[in-house]
Structure 1
Amino acid sequence: MENSEPLRPIEGKFAAIVVCWLLGNGCLFSWNSMLTIEDYYIYLFPKYHPSRVLTLVYQPFAVGTLAILAYKGDRINTRIRNLFGYTLFFISTLAVLLLDLASSGQGGLGTFVGICIVSGAFGVADAHTQGGMVGELSYMLPEFIQSFLAGAAASGALTSALRLITKAAFKNSKNGLHKGAILFFSISTFFELLCVLLYAFVFPKLPIVKYYRSKVAFEGSNAVSSDLAEAGIQTSSIRVKEGKQLERKGTKQLLLENIDYALDLFLIYALTLSIFPGFLSEDTGSHSLGSWYALVLIAMYNVCDLIGRYIPLLESLKMESRKMLTIVIVGRLLFVPAFYFTAKYGTQGWMIMLTSLLGLTNGYLTVCVLTSAPKGYMGPEQNALGNVLVLFLLAGIFAGVTLDWLWLIGKGW
């Protein structure tokens, strides 16, 4: 009897959604830890603009690495790529902890350079995991992508909550800021190790994941061989349809057919990162919340970003019209004058509300675009398109953190 496409399993969906949420969390947990602890870094490195410099260092590595990975496409082993990314996150987060312990929280140029190197490593890790996971989940269920993206947003909310707790816990103790940072990075390091173990030993064993990986191999993908072997499925038992490789659309054609989605993601993150976190950390003035003000703004952004990523679960509130998505995303450019005038004339309450709206729209629109785009394609094409879309997302972040420096014009460095 000829081998045919495997039957779809009914078990493992909920477990896969939970694991995707945790893996999405781990994809940005380390980086959000570095962003969330900006109050500590601004205290250690007041002359180096850490909230802007670290982000600017991070992005070229993320965009450059993902561009190479997207170009290589189907030739790269998905499992090795994602495992490398999560492992690098763990090692880099551990390095931040060890660097802080070695310097005893004294700051200095050498320590700052070390942190910048780690920031670049985070960018390389992000390119491997975020692009790899979105590409992989694109040929599975939309719920998996939504859960992964919600987990990524939750990392911001969780790190903000964790930072507020650690800051408060050591508020009245000697070197409290440093002790809070040590505890903060220790927890972050442990969580990244957990993500390595989840992706290596739990995710590939789930029946629904085995099914989709078998299906995409059946459709002609070369990137899942070790994933299937890890799950106990022999690739030789999966017959690839003749001519399937020839029928598949190339990356360039996929991009041209979805250029509006790609540009949408670019604009979403170029706008968001031109404001968050640099402007919110350094340019919103002094208010009654004092040193807590920047932390509260970042926390509100992260919480609302998380909420926004769950709104599309309600079908009646999910925006799927390509035209409307573009109109709304372009309309977000009005946030720039809104933040400028609020920082200059508004109270902290107005700034908190505006920051919340920024996060809410960022999360909502991200999920709407990424769950709507990879439809109507074979698994390998969905994987490739997912990588391309994440590349434009990271390019938008890079543009945003570059534009963020424009807020410093006329203020002196």
Structure 2
Amino acid sequence: MVHDSSDLEIPMKLQGKWSAMAMCWLFGLGTLLSWNIVSTIGDYFYELFPNYHPARVLTLVYLPFSLATISIFLYHQSRIDTRKRNITGYILFFASNFSLLVLDLATSGNGGIWKYIGMCILIAISGIADAHVQGGMIGDLALMCPEFIQSFVAGLAASGALTSILRLTTKAAFENVENGLRTGALVFLAISTLFEFLCIILYAFFFPNLPIVKYYRAKAAREGSKTVSSDLSAVGIQMEFDQHVENDAKPSKRLSIKQLFLENFDYTMDLFLICVVTLSIFPGFLYENTGSHQLGTWYPLVLVTTYNVSNLISRYIPLIQYLKLESRKGLVIFVLSRFLLIPAFYFTSKYGDQGWMIALVFILGSTTGYPTVCVMTLAPRIYKGPEKNALGNLLVLSLQSGILIGVALDWLWIIGNGNF
């Protein structure tokens, strides 16, 4: 059927906005749920593989595959079908989580190098899935209103907060039960597997049918974006865009990736440096370099929960307009000032008690989430559809590059202390 563009009037933008925001939040949660499950049940992995530094190694396995995949997608982003890309990503997440569950059951919860290698392979698949979904969703939502990106990015943080709180709950519930640590971990993996399946269903069948989503995707198509054609076809909108695209494309030349990078160099560096600082501390330092305190085995879990909750809360602050930092120079100063956290953590781990460390972790989480949302929502707003999609992928590449460098620097904390 031919759907006339006149049917997509501006008032339709008001239909389904809250539903779309809720789904974006769920998509964000599903995007990092797999990884946060792995990092949150780190205490179980340390019991299985005490000499293999799982918190650091698994992160270092995850990221190169994610970074390489997102780089390929960025180069070809204008020709990649966003719908297929995102659905493929959630399917890979589902397969990876389910396989981790089966792997643990098949080995009866035992450790060993071969199980560790198998787990690393599955974590690498999750990294590839992350590159499919995170870059694809940010690029897709950049075509729409900023609230959608904010909800998605908040969902990313919510996955960490949710898993941390659930981990504390399962640890309390199973602490005195035989194999309680493993039981809690299996519950986590089962929840994650079911949730990834839910994301597949929502993105494939419900999200594209919301009127506001149809509106923005049709608008992006008229501006020359080719990545949304499959989404429009999936909901029965076969618009005659060729002539519109030609007319829209002639007045202005589309910016290249290099031009977008140069115009948004400060934004990309902001995300890069945010992640460098954060991942040089979280989660490896919190598990291995904070010493022993009154909380005992609960201590690293409390620290991880504190980070994730503060990260989530801070991502809602930009919704209050006068609290949103829109100055590009101000964002750079804010981000650079976070490097002071590195010596602060070093001295607190040596001389401070657990109260000071918890407070410092709260600051780390807060100063991670808040500027990330500001950058993600501000950067794409002045561009048209194709540039927004490309910039969304570029921002995710910068973010993941920072994560990789941060994780590599995290190893410096253990060099020379006899545990390397």
Give the TM-score category using the shorter length: over 0.9
- For 1:19 and 1:3, the matched residues in 2 are separated by 27
Shift of 1:252: 1.0
Counterpart position of 1:184: 188
Shift of 1:239: 4.0
Counterpart position of 1:21: 25
Report Cα offsets for 1:270-324 as digits up to 9, x if no partner. 1100000000011100111111110000000000000010000101110000000
**Equivalences for residues 125-204 of structure 1 within 5 A:** 125-204=129-208
1:284 aligns with 2:290: yes
Indicate the percent of aligned positions where both proteins have the same amino acid: 59
1:100 aligns with 2:104: yes
Counterpart position of 2:351: 345
SS at match of 2:159: helix
Contact 2:171 2:181 in 1 (8 A): yes
Task: Note closer, same or farther for the CA distance 1:200–1:4 as it changes in structure 2 (3 Å cut).
Answer: closer
Shift of 1:243: 5.3
User: Which has the higher mean CA deviation after the structures are superposed, 122-131 or 233-242?
Assistant: 233-242
Counterpart position of 1:268: 274
SS at match of 2:245: coil
1:85 aligns with 2:114: no
Shift of 1:248: 1.2
Shift of 1:166: 1.5
Report Cα offsets for 1:136-191 as digits up to 9, x if no partner. 11110100000000011000000111111112111111111111111111111111
1:410 aligns with 2:416: yes
Counterpart position of 1:75: 79
Counterpart position of 2:214: 210
- For 1:349 and 1:173, the matched residues in 2 are separated by 29
Give the letter for the 2:9 counterpart.
L
Counterpart position of 1:7: 9
Shift of 1:237: 5.5
SS at match of 2:380: coil
Contact 1:217 1:238 in 2 (8 A): no
**Equivalences for residues 381-396 of structure 1 within 5 A:** 381-396=387-402
- For 2:128 and 2:237, the matched residues in 1 are separated by 30
Instruction: Choose from 308, 312, 324 the match for 2:330.
Output: 324
Give the letter for the 1:392 counterpart.
S
SS at match of 1:241: helix
Counterpart position of 1:54: 58
Runs of 4+ deviating beyond 6 Å? none
Counterpart position of 1:32: 36
- For 1:45 and 1:12, the matched residues in 2 are separated by 47
Report Cα offsets for 1:255-277 as digits up to 9, x if no partner. 11001000000000011000000
SS at match of 1:46: coil
Counterpart position of 1:302: 308
Counterpart position of 1:375: 381
- For 1:4 and 1:167, the matched residues in 2 are separated by 55
Report Cα offsets for 1:200-247 as digits up to 9, x if no partner. 111001000000111101111111111001111004366433254462
Give the letter for the 2:238 counterpart.
Q
How many residue pairs were aligned?
A: 412
Report Cα offsets for 1:370-401 as digits up to 9, x if no partner. 11111211111111001001100000000000
Contact 2:168 2:301 in 1 (8 A): yes
SS at match of 1:236: coil
Give the letter for the 1:401 counterpart.
V
Contact 1:35 1:51 in 2 (8 A): yes
Counterpart position of 1:251: 257
- For 1:239 and 1:207, the matched residues in 2 are separated by 23
Contact 1:204 1:210 in 2 (8 A): yes
- For 1:71 and 1:245, the matched residues in 2 are separated by 20
- For 2:108 and 2:308, the matched residues in 1 are separated by 29
Give the letter for the 2:137 counterpart.
M
SS at match of 2:240: helix
SS at match of 2:326: coil
Contact 1:3 1:237 in 2 (8 A): no
Aligned CA-pair RMSD: 1.3
SS at match of 1:221: coil
